[in-house]
């Protein structure tokens, strides 16, 4: 995700900006830039790539000045390149802006500004902010920023600077963090605490809707109505490493907790005011979709498990046959493809070698290819015909969590979008599903708040070397993901079984007290699941059931229960996977494993 740093004071700003940005490198980025007020003009340097590339570029210039802003960009709108890197400026280069978040209505604002004579240099949503400030500016930067934020929809943590007002930086926040670090005769701004810790531990943390006017000697914070707020100074006790993880012990735990936001961001601006789905990025026409005979989903690991959920969802909603394949198999089985087969490739990194090969094969055979990926500018995003991004932000822990849940969200949206085009789903049903989709972030939040309910089961689980996950239908697809998660970070051997398959051989492995995690969130399969739970209980397994609110029966058969909030059963995978992620995480911690960097695993697998 992007990083923001700002400085105003008596020291040279450039080294402080670079130092601050380097402390945010862990968040992932693809380009960087700085802008300084150098005597009477604004100087801006931007570069694609690492901070070193920016420093090399700056090397030749003279960036002398005591007020400046810096940014590391994780591409969202527009590929990673010098022009799209922040800061962005207006037509006259008198105003510069850095921004984290997404301006949802940027397209219409851009068109309007262009009609007013503004010229744009980048493909970003952020650039509209600079031009809007230019448009509204009447001698007071803070007032201009206030008018800008009235005009934009979406999320922002932004900092603006102007040549006309060399003694102030203006910040505004909505759904994207901003912190102000307090110094003596100097002040700092950052999107994240690690960037500040070398200089100060005294901070103001901005809340949504607040706007800050930061000078060398003062910080005035106002609420959305322009009324000054008396804000409490927060003293940061964390060390740098803890701060990078936002106070969480590991990135994996942080990323598990980021899921409500990641899901919200992935849904953002893709559901219309009347509750329908609008995926602009999918260019298939109604006629093309009506001619589709089949969908093939191809991916690896966790992304493959997302595809398995996708199969149930697509088949249920579209009544279209779906095949799901692991990419390393798909590419060698001479698959039946053609223009009537839609191929959906799913890859968090967008660089997985096998998935990429599958994508190329599908294109070669004439199939339209839609990619679901988290990384703008990745090879998959560049080579697919159409790309739908998961807006999960960078995933740093090797074990995938928020990428998986946001992949599910994109697959639901894609199914609904295609369903609308094919006229396969009545609008009322789409509206019902989108209403439920928007409830998922708060449901995930609720599950995260119950994490302590897993403690006892985790203690048992972490002492075993084998465990089973069972489920039927969608629950089986989630069981596979739960079992992978546990294996990869805790090294406990886990098997995921379609619950009805146990009796075809595997029951022999169910022994006294062996932990079994039974997912039972699909009402039409409850009775079948109860029989399967009884089978393992009869062999004295210790069973944890994941059930949905309203189910009063399943819990009676088992030793421990986790209840997820009620939702439409088709959407339950987004919720039922959360306790499984937490279970794996806590088991791995109890076993002393290196959670964020499990052995023999890489975040991006670029070899076959």
Determine the Cα–Cα distance for residues 187 and 450; give it in Å rounded to an integer. Answer: 39
- The distance of closest approach from Cβ of residue 405 to ligand F6R in the complex, given in angstroms and rounded to an integer, is 12
Facing residues of 7 across strands? 68, 188
Say how many C-beta atoms besides its own lie within 10 A of residue 429's C-beta. Answer: 14
Q: Tell me the closest approach of the beta carbon of residue 583 to ligand F6R, in angstroms.
A: 14
Q: How many CA atoms lie within 13 A of 523 on its CB side?
A: 11
Site string for ligand F6R, 487-526 (x = CB under 6 A): -x--------------------------------------
Region from 144-152, 273-281, 331-339, 342-350 binding ligand F6R, contact rule CB under 6 A: 342-350
Q: Measured between alpha carbons, how far is 436 from 184 in angstroms, rounded to an integer?
A: 50
**Interface with ligand F6R by CB under 6 A: which range of 65-73, 134-142, 300-308, 561-569?**
300-308
Packed helices 572-590 and 402-422: angle between N→C axes, nearest 10 degrees: 170
# of chain residues touching ligand F6R (CB under 6 A):
14
If the CB atoms of residues 560 and 605 are measured against ligand F6R, the closer one turns out to be 605
355 or 381: whose CB is closer to ligand F6R?
A: 355
Neighbour tally for 105: CB within 10 Å: 15
CB-count burial class (<10 Å; 0-12, 13-18, 19+) for 278: middle
Judged by beta carbon, residue 89 or residue 302, the one nearer ligand F6R is 302
* Candidate residues 4, 85, 292, 300; the one interacting with ligand F6R per rule CB under 6 A: 300
Residue (of 200, 275, 141, 226) closest to 11 by Cα position:
200
In the complex, what is the shortest distance from the CB of residue 496 to ligand F6R, in angstroms, rounded to a whole number?
14
> Which of 61-69, 294-302, 414-422, 493-501 is the region at the interface with ligand F6R (rule: CB under 6 A)?
294-302
- Which residue is it, tokens 């969202």? 76
Q: Smallest distance from the beta carbon of 436 to ligand F6R, in angstroms? A: 26
Q: Toward ligand F6R, which CB reaches closer, 37 or 577?
A: 577
Contact 27, 194 (CB under 8 A): no
Which residues from 351-380 bind ligand F6R, rule CB under 6 A? Answer: 352, 355
Integer Cα distance of 455 and 519 in angstroms: 18
Q: Which stretch binds ligand F6R (CB under 6 A): 111-119, 348-356, 502-510, 544-552?
A: 348-356
Nearest distance from C-beta of residue 11 to ligand F6R, angstroms: 41
Give the nearer residue to ligand F6R in terms of CB position, either 66 or 467: 467
The residue of the chain with the least Cβ separation from ligand F6R equals 301
Distance between start and end Cα atoms, the chain = 28
Among 197, 303, 387, 479, binds ligand F6R (CB under 6 A): 303
Farthest CA pair distance, the chain: 81
Site string for ligand F6R, 586-605 (x = CB under 6 A): ------------------xx
Site string for ligand F6R, 169-198 (x = CB under 6 A): ------------------------------
Piece of the chain touching ligand F6R by CB under 6 A; list 2-10, 44-52, 240-248, 301-309:
301-309
Least distance (Å) between residue 597 CB and ligand F6R: 12
Are 604 and 473 in contact by the 8 Å Cβ rule? The answer is: no
Shortest distance, position 474 Cβ to ligand F6R, whole Å? 19
CB of 315: closest distance to ligand F6R in angstroms?
A: 23
The alpha carbon of residue 172 and the mean position of all alpha carbons in its chain are separated, in whole angstroms, by: 22
Give the list of residues 6+ apart from residue 181 with CB closer than 8 angstroms, or none.
187, 188, 189, 190, 196, 199, 200, 202, 203
Pick the piece of the chain touching ligand F6R (CB under 6 A) from 58-66, 341-349, 409-417, 570-578: 341-349
Contact with ligand F6R (CB under 6 A): which of 22, 126, 349, 467? 349
Length of the chain: 608
- Compute the CA torsion angle 528, 531, 535, 537 (nearest 10 deg): 120
Residue 356 CB, nearest distance to ligand F6R (Å)? 9
**Shortest distance, CB of residue 487 to ligand F6R, whole angstroms?**
10
CB of 406 to ligand F6R, least distance (A): 11
Nearer to ligand F6R, 488 or 557 (CB): 488
Active site residues: 2, 603
88 in Cβ contact with 97 (< 8 Å): yes
**Beta carbon nearer to ligand F6R, 400 or 406:** 400
The answer to whether the beta carbons of residues 526 and 553 sit under 8 Å apart is yes
Written as six digits, the tokens of 486 are 């546990």
Q: Which helix (H) or strand (E) holds 181?
A: strand 179-182
Where does this chain touch ligand F6R (CB under 6 A) — which range of 212-220, 234-242, 345-353, 544-552? Answer: 345-353
Sketch the per residue contact string, 391 through 430, with ligand F6R: x for CB under 6 A, - otherwise: --------xx------------------------------
Single out the residue of 33, 68, 177, 301 in contact with ligand F6R (rule: CB under 6 A): 301
Measure the CA angle with vertex 241, ends 236 and 245; round to 5°.
Answer: 85
Tell me how far apart the alpha carbons of residues 544 and 181 are, in angstroms, rounded to a whole number. Answer: 46
**Residue 373 burial (CB < 10 Å; 0-12/13-18/19+)?**
buried
Residue whose CB is less far from ligand F6R, 101 or 301: 301
Residues ≥6 apart with Cβ < 8 Å to 70? 4, 5, 6, 17, 18, 20, 21, 32, 33, 34, 35, 98
- Closer Cβ to ligand F6R, 511 or 606, answer by number: 606
483 binds ligand F6R (CB under 6 A): no
Q: Which residues are near ligand F6R by CB under 6 A? A: 300-303, 347-349, 352, 355, 399-400, 488, 604-605
């Amino acid at each position: 995700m992007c990083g923001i740093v700002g400085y105003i004071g008596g020291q040279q700003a450039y080294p402080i900006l670079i130092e601050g940005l380097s402390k945010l490198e862990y968040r992932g980025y693809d380009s960087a830039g700085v802008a300084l007020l150098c005597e009477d003009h604004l100087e801006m340097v931007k570069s694609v790539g690492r901070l070193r590339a920016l420093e090399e570029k700056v090397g030749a210039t003279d960036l002398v000045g005591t007020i400046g802003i810096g940014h590391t960009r994780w591409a969202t709108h527009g590929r990673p390149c010098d022009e799209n890197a922040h800061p962005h400026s207006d037509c006259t280069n008198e105003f510069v802006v850095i921004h984290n978040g997404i301006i949802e209505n940027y397209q219409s604002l851009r068109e309007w500004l262009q009609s007013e004579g503004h010229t744009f240099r980048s493909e970003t949503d952020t650039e509209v902010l600079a031009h809007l400030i230019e448009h509204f500016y009447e001698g007071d930067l803070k007032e201009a920023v206030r008018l800008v934020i009235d005009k934009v929809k979406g999320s922002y943590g932004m900092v603006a600077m102007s040549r006309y007002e060399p003694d102030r930086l203006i910040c505004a926040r909505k759904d994207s963090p901003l912190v102000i670090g307090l110094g003596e005769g100097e002040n700092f701004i950052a999107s994240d605490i690690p960037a500040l810790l070398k200089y100060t531990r005294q901070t103001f943390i901005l809340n949504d809707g607040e706007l800050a006017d930061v000078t060398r000697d003062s910080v005035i914070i106002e609420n959305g109505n322009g009324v000054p707020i008396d804000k409490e100074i927060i003293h940061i006790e964390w060390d740098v490493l803890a701060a990078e993880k936002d106070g969480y012990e590991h990135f994996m735990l942080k990323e598990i907790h980021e899921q409500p936001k990641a899901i919200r961001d992935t849904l953002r601006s893709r559901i219309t005011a009347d509750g329908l789905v609008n995926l602009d990025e999918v260019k298939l026409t109604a006629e093309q979709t009506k001619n589709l005979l089949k969908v093939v989903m191809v991916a690896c690991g966790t992304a493959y498990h997302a595809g398995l959920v996708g199969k149930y969802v697509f088949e249920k909603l579209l009544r279209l046959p779906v095949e799901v394949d692991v990419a390393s198999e798909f590419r060698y089985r001479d698959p039946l493809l053609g223009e009537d087969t839609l191929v959906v490739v799913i890859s968090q990194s967008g660089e997985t070698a096998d998935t990429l090969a599958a994508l190329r094969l599908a294109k070669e055979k004439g199939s339209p290819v839609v990619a679901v990926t988290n990384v703008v500018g990745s090879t998959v995003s560049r080579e697919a015909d159409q790309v739908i991004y998961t807006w999960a932000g960078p995933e740093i822990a090797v074990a995938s969590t928020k990428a998986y849940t946001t992949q599910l969200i994109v697959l639901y949206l894609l199914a609904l979008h295609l369903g609308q085009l094919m006229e396969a789903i009545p609008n009322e049903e789409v509206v019902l599903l989108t209403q439920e989709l928007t409830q998922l972030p708060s449901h995930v939040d609720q599950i995260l708040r119950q994490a302590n309910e897993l403690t006892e089961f985790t203690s048992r689980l972490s002492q075993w070397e084998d465990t089973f996950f069972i489920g039927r239908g969608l629950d089986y697809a989630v069981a596979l993901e739960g079992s992978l998660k546990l294996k990869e970070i805790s090294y406990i051997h886990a098997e995921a079984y379609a619950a009805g398959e146990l009796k075809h051989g595997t029951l022999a492995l169910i022994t006294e007290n062996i932990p079994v995690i039974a997912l039972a969130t699909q009402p039409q399969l409850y009775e079948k699941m109860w029989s399967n739970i009884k089978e393992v209980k009869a062999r004295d397994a210790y069973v944890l059931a994941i059930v949905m609110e309203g189910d009063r029966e399943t819990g009676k058969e088992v030793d421990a229960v986790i209840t997820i909030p009620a939702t439409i059963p088709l959407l339950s995978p987004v919720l039922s996977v959360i306790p499984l992620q937490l279970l794996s995480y806590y088991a791995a911690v109890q076993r002393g494993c290196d959670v964020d960097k499990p052995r023999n695993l890489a975040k991006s697998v670029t070899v076959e």
